[in-house]
Amino acid sequence: MRTLLFFLFITTLFFYTYSLPIAIPQDLTTASDNIDFIRTSCNATLYPDLCYTSLAGYANAIQQDPGRLARAAISVSLKKAHHMAEYVSNLTRDADYGSDPRAASALHDCFSNFGDAVDEIRGSLKQMRQAVSPGSESFRFQMSNVQTWMSAALTDEETCTDGFEDVADSQMKSDVCDRSEEVKKATSNALALVNSYAEKGVQ
């Protein structure tokens, strides 16, 4: 049944694609162009697959606008950093870690690192929302602020993991470091897309 449906789908697709090119709805091709744009742009990041899967859902809102793409990537990284701060904050309230002062201290610092990262990413997003014309002097100033803040956020996120170096291995430690790594990837990708946008400017 599935095979039959698939066959029908392919035949229909073939029919529409080759027999009636005029009948292809305009927004279908645009939608696939929008998706291609994300795939190609994500190629400039360190974690292209993660970049693509986290942004493909916004393809129609992004359209093929590198500024919107960078903004969406910053939003994704903000959401993740915020979630991480909440996760770490929950852990600091867990009585189990109170008995290990090193772990408690690393957790506390990590919470403050992610708190700072959230502020910096939020600041970047605010800056990105200001409408300035690409290529202008204020565009360069805006982009340089965003680049500075996103880099600072990435450093803060790294600092969290570094703080756990001297902490004895535990489930908590590996959970925090693994989750931290995922947030760092999202922030790194957002920074890379900001850098591409800043370079290309008008495009």
Ligand X SMILES: *[C@@H]1O[C@H](CO)[C@@H](O)[C@H](O)[C@H]1NC(C)=O
- Out of 11, 29, 60, 90, point to the residue binding ligand X (CB under 6 A): 90
Residues 52/180, Cβ–Cβ less than 8 Å: no
Least separation in angstroms between residue 80's CB and ligand X is 11
Q: Which of residues 22-61 bind ligand X (CB under 6 A)?
A: 39-40, 43
Nearer to ligand X, 40 or 63 (CB): 40
Least separation in angstroms between residue 97's CB and ligand X is 15
Nearer to ligand X, 166 or 181 (CB): 181
Residues 123/65, Cβ–Cβ less than 8 Å: no
Residues 95/111, Cβ–Cβ less than 8 Å: no
Identity at 185, one-letter amino acid code: K
CA distance 98 to 138: 49
Residues 120/156, Cβ–Cβ less than 8 Å: yes
Nearest Cα neighbor of 156 from 194, 115, 191 is 115
- Out of 27, 33, 49, 86, point to the residue binding ligand X (CB under 6 A): 86
φ/ψ (deg, to 5) at 93 = -85, -10
- Out of 87, 122, 151, 201, point to the residue binding ligand X (CB under 6 A): 87
Least separation in angstroms between residue 91's CB and ligand X is 8
Nearer to ligand X, 38 or 72 (CB): 38
Nearer to ligand X, 39 or 108 (CB): 39
Number of residues lying near ligand X (CB under 6 A): 7
Which tokens hold the place of 122? 């939020």
Which tokens hold the place of 161? 């993991």
Q: Which of residues 138-197 bind ligand X (CB under 6 A)?
A: none
Least separation in angstroms between residue 67's CB and ligand X is 20
Residues 150/125, Cβ–Cβ less than 8 Å: no
Judged by CB under 6 A, does residue 199 bind ligand X? no
- Cα–Cα distances in angstroms (integers) from residue 112 to residues 95, 105, 167, in the given order: 19, 11, 17
Nearer to ligand X, 86 or 178 (CB): 86
| Residue ranges in contact with ligand X by CB under 6 A | 39-40, 43, 83, 86-87, 90
